[in-house]
Amino acid sequence: MKRNLAIILVSVILSGLTAFFVSKYALNHAQPSALNRDGQPVKTVNLSVEDYPDFTYAAENTVDAVVYVQVKVKSRAQLNNPFFEFFFGEQYKDQFERLQQGSGSGVIIKPEGYIVTNNHVVADATEIQVVLNNNKTYPATVVGTDPATDVALIKIEAEEELPAIEFADSDALRLGEWVLAIGSPLGKELQSTITAGIVSAKGRSMPNYTGEFKIESFIQTDAAVNPGNSGGALVNKAGQLVGINTAIISTTGSYAGYSFAVPSNIVSKIVSDLIEFGNVKRAKLGVSMSAITTEMAKEKGLKSLEGAYIHEVATGSAAEKAGIKPGDVIVGIDDTPINTPAALQEKVNSYRPGDTITVKVNRGGETLNLQCTFFEEPTTPITKS
């Protein structure tokens, strides 16, 4: 009994001494806490050298894979000659062919010479020249184009294996994440220019003045982009391709702080289709939709503004066969949340006919998971009133 009491007493003393020395060590080695003006502690962040936004790795590992694209386009123009018009009438107006030059940028995505650029860079081109970062020049041919996403794929035959940029998952991009824009703003003289910015927004749409079908779900950045950057690379800090720079919004025609890129997930799918099939195999859901406004939410009794509100469902479409109905709000595709119509459009565009997806729908306060299979044949387009 006495022995047990002695053991317990020794244990208590040792525990007390251990706690004393641990507390003393902790106090001696504690980092001083930061206090605000009211004497309250505030959080501090300690960054190592590796945590600072150093872009040298991304820049040095991607700049050689971004090229300068020069195109020639023939256009017909009329030459008004008042002398001939006076004697022979307007049918004698002279017509002649005019050779115009344009330029942009491109991104090597495969070592064998496949290059992604914008459709508007190479559209109607009669001749395409690609200048590498080492100033070697090669003629290029068009593999395929997709005006709906403004993506084009061209190819050169080089004698050496070319540096290529790896695709990243653009869905994983975060707001505020650092990105680099690489291209040739304002022409050959500024080839391989690198600018930095952050992801300002995702899923941006821009007005479509032509009336053509467009898939617009852009990454918005504040990296400086100017005419000539079109078709160039938008890369993350790891040197991976997250987008193809496509457009700017400006009142002057030059950079004003807003630049837009086609997400890499869309580009990757388009490129794969063009290489494998020669054209784009585009999945179609067959719905007319819109964003949810505050007024619409009150009118329809919706509890949230997130999602894509379905106004109409095309007869015989994939959406109709899946059980999607007017008045539904699509809030998810597979594991991806859908907050806007642009996000829905972008996600659907990543699939091909024949693929089956799970569509998460809010209907009258109830959440449904509907199985939807896309068809090979396109559905009849519908117009929202």
Cβ neighbours of residue 37 under 8 Å, at least 6 residues apart? none
CB 290 within 8 A of CB 310: no
Distance separating alpha carbons of residues 43 and 35, to the nearest angstrom:
9
Give the type of residue at 342.
Answer: A
Cβ neighbours of residue 126 under 8 Å, at least 6 residues apart? 72, 73, 74
Q: What are phi and psi of 223, to 5 degrees?
A: -70, 135
Distance separating alpha carbons of residues 214 and 284, to the nearest angstrom:
13
Is residue 94 flagged as an active site residue?
Answer: no
Catalytic residue among 103, 146, 150, 264: 150
Catalytic residue among 64, 120, 171, 250: 120
Distance separating alpha carbons of residues 121 and 142, to the nearest angstrom:
11
CB 246 within 8 A of CB 261: yes
Catalytic residue among 230, 264, 268, 350: 230
Is residue 29 flagged as an active site residue?
Answer: no
- The Cβ of residue 91 has, within 10 Å, a number of other Cβ atoms equal to 7
Is residue 311 flagged as an active site residue?
Answer: no
Active site members: 120, 150, 230
